[in-house]
Amino acid sequence: MPQTRVYHYVNPNNGNHITSLLPPDHPEMVCLQQGSHIEETKFGLLGVLAAIFWFPIGIGLCLLDRSVTCKRCGAVIKGRPSIQLGGSNGRNEN
Ligand SMILES: [Zn+2]
């Protein structure tokens, strides 16, 4: 029977020990070990269209319809602040 391999990591930001089944070369674990993500800003299609059709006011909408994700592991670092289709989960900000 193959044994499940468990990996241990230490978060360099806060020293937390993390146990994960993901191998060290998994994108999420690479980000974890480096303590940072590769940020990539993406603009939503609606925002871009608004910027084109309602220039220059649409630029503001384009900026609202923006999300920052990690290029490497795909984690959402900053979601869209105001435009949320469905779901009513509150935002937890410190
Ligand atoms: Zn990442």
Is there a single domain that holds both residue 52 and residue 31? no
pLDDT score recorded for residue 81: 54
Is there a single domain that holds both residue 43 and residue 70? yes
pLDDT in tens, the chain (94 residues): 678 899 999 999 899 999 999 999 999 999 999 999 999 998 989 889 999 999 988 998 888 889 999 999 999 998 765 544 555 555 555 5
Work out the angle at residue 81's Cα, subtended by the Cα atoms of residues 16 and 69, and round it to the nearest 5 degrees.
50
Tell me, in angstroms, the distance from the centre of ligand 1 to residue 75's CA: 6
pLDDT score recorded for residue 83: 47
Tell me, in angstroms, the distance from the centre of ligand 1 to residue 29's CA: 8
Is there a single domain that holds both residue 71 and residue 44? yes
pTM: 0.64
CB-hemisphere CA count at 13 Å for 82? Answer: 8
**Residue 73 domain-assigned (yes or no):** yes
**Residue 60 domain-assigned (yes or no):** yes
Tell me, in angstroms, the distance from the centre of ligand 1 to residue 1's CA: 33
